[in-house]
Amino acid sequence: MTFSDWIAEPVNWVFAAIGLAVLFSGFRVVTSKNVVHAALYLVGALAGTAGLFLLMSAEFVAWVLVLVYIGAVIVLFLFGIMITRAPTGLDESLSSDQTAMPALLSAAVFVVMTWASIDAFGTELLATVGEATSTQVIGESLLGRFVIPFEVVSFVLLAALIGGITIARRDLTPVEEEERMSV
């Protein structure tokens, strides 16, 4: 694919813009000195990923990502930051001092991974005319072929819900407990 081919296709512009935005946001999550900023950049990275999903016509999961993650998980993160009174201002101690080794390591693995995936997937192109996988098809397969994981995952959620509340709640002191039992 020559550069002029590439540039003639507006979809590629959209892809490049969103892709770079995702990577930039991800990088800022990692480097930001402020916990709240990191959480907000995470929103950016997730929203960008949802955009990439839409480019690949995966509409259902794109909107699930937006609703579940941006709508709920990030809010939970922000609550977590507030409740734990994590320092929300500038904080130098958020990172360790050793930057070079992790950076080198990550870069090296990135080169290997990219080389491997271009080697494997380089010849495959996405079908130009994207027929979106309809939510109906996904829903039917979730309640058909994938019904066992679908039911089992509900227990993951139930356990997380109940266990999370138990671990995070403030324990009653023995005195308070006496009072509650006498009522």
Partner 1 sequence: MIVGAEWYMTVAAALFLIGAFGLLLRRNALIMFMCIELMLNAVNLTLIAAGRALNDLGGQVAVFFILVVAAAEVVVGLAIIVAIFRRRTTASVDELSELRG
Partner 2 sequence: MSWEVDYLAIAPELIIIGSLFLVLGLDLTLPRLKKYWTATAAVAGSALALIPLAFLAVEGETISMFDGSYVVDEFALVLKGLFLVTAYIVFLMSVNYIESERYYQGEYYLLLLASVLGSLVLASARDLIVLFIGIELVTGPLYLLAGWRKGDVKSNEASLKYFILGVLSTAILLYGMSVLYGLTGEITFSGLAEATAAMPNSPALTMAVLFLIVGFGFKISAVPFHFWAPDTYEGAPTPITAYLSVNSKAAGFVAMLLVMYLALPGVSDVWAPALWALAALSMTIGNLSALRQTNIVRLLAYSSIAQAGFMLVPFAAAAVAGADLEEAFSATVIYLVIYAVMNLGAFGVVIAGARTTKSGEISDWAGLSNVDSRAAVLVAVFFFSLAGIPPLAGWFAKFVMFRSVMIAGGAATVVLAVVAAVNAVIALYYYAKVVKSVWLDDATREFPGEFDEPPAGSLRLALAISVGLTVVVGFFPALATFVADASRVIAAGG
Applying the rule CB under 8 A, the residues between 145 and 174 that interact with partner 2 are 145-149, 152-153, 155-156, 158-160, 162-164, 166-167, 171
101, 148, 175, 181: which one contacts partner 1 (CB under 8 A)?
Answer: 101
Measure the CA–CA gap between 68 and 155, rounded to whole angstroms.
18
Give Cα separations from 2 to 6, 9, 127 (angstroms).
6, 12, 19
146 in contact with partner 1 (CB under 8 A): yes
Distance of alpha carbon 1 from its chain centroid, rounded? 31
Please tell me what DSSP assigns to residue 89. Answer: S
Task: Write down the least CB distance from residue 182 to partner 1, Å.
Answer: 26
Map the footprint of partner 1 across residues 36-95, applying CB under 8 A: 38-39, 42, 45-46, 49, 52-53, 56-58, 60-61, 64-65, 68-69, 72-73, 76-77, 79-81, 83-87, 93-95
CB 49 → partner 1: shortest distance, Å? Answer: 5
Q: For residue 144, what are the CA distances in angstroms to 33, 77, 135, 147?
A: 47, 34, 14, 5
Tell me which residues in 21-80 interact with partner 2 (CB under 8 A). none
Establish how many alpha carbons lie within 13 A of residue 89's alpha carbon, considering only the half-sphere containing its beta carbon.
0
Is residue 120 near partner 2 by the rule CB under 8 A? yes
Residue 10 CB, nearest approach to partner 2 (Å)? 26
Least distance in angstroms from the C-beta of 138 to partner 1 = 6
User: Distance between CA atoms of 135 and 61, rounded to whole angstroms?
Assistant: 9
